[in-house]
Chains A and B, each alone.
Chain A
Amino acid sequence: MKQEGKKHIWSNYQKEIAEDRYFYVRSCIRQTFFPGSENTFLKILREVLGKDVHESPNHTTCTGIGYHCEVVPFATTQTVVARNFALMRDAGYQNYTPSCVTSFGIYTEILDTWQHFPAEKEKTRAFLKQATGREFEEPNSLAHTSDIIYKFRNEIAQKAKYQLINSETGEPLKIVEHIGCHYAKMFPEKSVGGAEYPNVLAGMIDAWGGNVIDYPERRHCCGFGFRQYLIQANRGYSMSASKKKFESMEAYQPDFIITNCPGCNYFLDRWQYVLAETEQKTYGSNGYGIPVLTYEEVAGLVLGFDPWEMGMQMHQIDVEPLLKKMGIKYNASEKFKGPQGQELGLPEFPEHVKFTTQSDN
């Protein structure tokens, strides 16, 4: 693998990312899947980097899931998106930053549509006015929140308490990076690094001391795909796609997987549990799975945030072996306590993939 070759390709996929004053829009599903990640992003931006980030309680879905499942017509999607743009305008912001990769794809697709078919934009303007009385403007810049963390990766590295290094051996951690399809596969030129050799997560890993693993099925689908998992009968298909990736990466003994997409994160994490329970097969070391982290969680760990405050106990695949590997100081007894220290009770533990319980510590 020649690094210069990758850098050459990356030079073709650079994008303008705004410096400050972001209009932040949350994902529909992330808050239930990995509830601490979005708060971690806000904490990093506001408290660590001192940026101005605005959220509107009136923000709605982008309709992405419905749109891709062909239950929401495109005209509706455009109007809903226009309404979200209108909220940004009303709040006095211009830099739109969605947390969800599918939303990022939707916004990119619509801005591209409006550029090529201005009549669609005018139609949307009329619909929005008629339905809500609102008016909108296109954002000055559109960046996925992983783009923003990428932009400030070196600042984060300067303030790092921990590095992506195995504290026992001193070796860089071996990390699989996986980007969401809607981040770069639809509009590679709107991403950092393109779709074939994406740099958005690789750049973070590099800045924070880890090593990116290149494994043969790195491009393969994570198994999310709306058409794959929404219908139960298709879920074997979804799981098989994830399995293909795990089998391919297993030989490289990754310490963890980092993703920038709600779906990739969820399915790479949850399917490892289902595969363990149906096939008694685990892909990490010593009967554990391979932890799957969001980029916000990784940034948070590097900055020394408390893993339980970031909601990392919500992962199906246990993260404690990774925390120990990185030499992170954390309180094991608070894993299943609420933010005010209240007991939340213990989850049901899986049978065939190890999960650290308090008695192990």
Chain B
Amino acid sequence: MKDFGFSPMKNKVLNFDELNHDFHQWIAIQDSSFNLCIACGTCASTCSAGSYTHFSFRELCKDIRWGNAEKAMKESEKCMLCGKCSIACPRNINTRNIIKMVRKAAKTSPL
């Protein structure tokens, strides 16, 4: 192999066709309010954990939606389960329950 001093770069475009939607579907079955997120960020702005760590329920929803189950499971550990986001959510999403479902999935590997 020749060394030219440079090499091709990794493509960072998200290929939607290759995403795994199983985890998202499983979560949406556990709690049908999951799909109602409008990404307004109310949850993240009121989050007690989010004030001190990089944690956002809105981002967690994205991770679940884009098939990033592992990251979602890891992120969910940061939640204090205080439930403030559930009170604030304008779409009435059962945010706290969704966190619990993600944690449950981490323990039981339902898929």
- Chain A residues with CB under 8 Å of chain B are 232-237, 239-240, 243-244, 274-275, 277-280, 351
Residues of A within 8 A of B2 (CB): 274, 277-278, 351
Contact yes or no, B6 A277, CB < 8 A = no
Q: Quick check: is B53 within 8 A (CB to CB) of the other chain?
A: no
Which residue of A235, A280, A351 contacts B4 across the interface (Cβ within 8 Å)? A235
Residues of A within 8 A of B11 (CB): 240, 244
Task: Please determine whether B6 and A239 come into contact, CB atoms closer than 8 angstroms.
Answer: yes
* Chain B residues with a Cβ under 8 A of chain A: 1-2, 4-9, 11
Residue contact B6 to A275, C-beta cutoff 8 Å: no
A280 to B6, CA, bound (A): 15
A-B contact pairs, 11 of them (CB 8 A): A232-B6, A235-B5, A236-B6, A236-B7, A240-B9, A243-B8, A244-B11, A274-B4, A278-B1, A278-B2, A278-B7
Whether B5 pairs with A275 at a CB distance below 8 angstroms is: no
Contacts of A274 in B (CB 8 A): 2, 4
CA distance A275 to B11 in the complex (A): 15
Chain B contact surface mostly: loop
Chain A: CB-nearest residue to B3 = A278
A239 touches B5 (CB 8 A): no
| Beta-carbon contact of B9 and A236 below 8 Å | yes
Known: A240-B11, A278-B7. 13 other contacts (CB 8 A): A232-B6, A233-B6, A236-B7, A236-B9, A240-B8, A244-B11, A275-B8, A277-B2, A277-B4, A278-B4, A278-B8, A279-B8, A280-B1
Query: In the complex, what distance in Å separates the CA atom of A234 from the CA atom of B8?
Result: 10
For B5, give its contact among A232, A237, A240 (CB under 8 Å). A232
3 closest Cβ pairs, A-B complex: A236-B6, A235-B6, A277-B2
A278 to B2, CA, bound (A): 6
Residue of B nearest to A243 (CB): B8
Provide the residues of chain A in CB contact with B1, threshold 8 Å.
277-278, 280
Q: Name the distance in Å between A27's Cβ and chain B's nearest Cβ.
A: 25
Chain B positions within 8 Å of A278 at CB level: 1-2, 4, 7-8
Cβ distance A168 to chain B, nearest Cβ, rounded Å: 34
Q: Which A residue sits closest to B13, measured CB to CB?
A: A244
CA distance A348 to B18 in the complex (A): 41
Q: Which residues of B contact A240 (CB under 8 A)?
A: 8-9, 11
From A280, which residue of chain B is reached at the shortest CB distance? Answer: B1
A280 to B11, CA, bound (A): 18
Contacts of B9 in A (CB 8 A): 236-237, 240
Q: How far is the CA of A154 from the CA of B106 in the complex (A)?
A: 67
Cα A280 to Cα B9 in complex, Å, equals 16
CB distance from B65 to the nearest CB of A (A): 25
Q: How far apart sit A233 and B11, CA to CA, in the bound complex (Å)?
A: 17
Nearest neighbor of B2 in chain A, beta-carbon distance? A277
Contacts of B8 on A, CB cut-off 8 Å? 236, 239-240, 243, 275, 278-279
State the Cβ distance, B16 to closest chain A Cβ, in Å.
Answer: 14
